[in-house]
Amino acid sequence: MRLIKGFRNVISFHTDFTCPRCRGYTEFFEDRERVWLGCERCRKWVYMEKQEAWNVFEEDGWRGLMDELTKAFSKYVTRG
Ligand SMILES: [Zn+2]
pLDDT in tens, 59-78: 999 999 999 999 999 999 99
pTM of the predicted model as reported, rounded to 2 decimal places? 0.81
Residue 5, classified by CB atoms within 10 Å of its CB into exposed (0-12), middle (13-18) or buried (19+), is exposed
List the shell of residues around ion ligand 1, using CB closer than 5 Å.
19, 21-22, 24, 39, 41-42
Give pLDDT, residue 1.
Answer: 46
pLDDT confidence of residue 56: 96
State the distance from the centre of ligand 1 to the C-alpha of 18, rounded, in angstroms: 8
What's residue 5's pLDDT? 54
Residue 59 CA to ligand 1 center (angstroms) comes to 29
Q: How far is 73 from 6, CA to CA, in rounded Å? A: 20
pLDDT in tens, 2-36: 555 555 556 778 889 999 999 999 999 988 899 99
Kind of pairing, strands 44-49 and 25-30?
unpaired
Which are the contacts of 21, defined by CB distance < 8 A and separation ≥ 6?
39, 42, 44, 77, 78
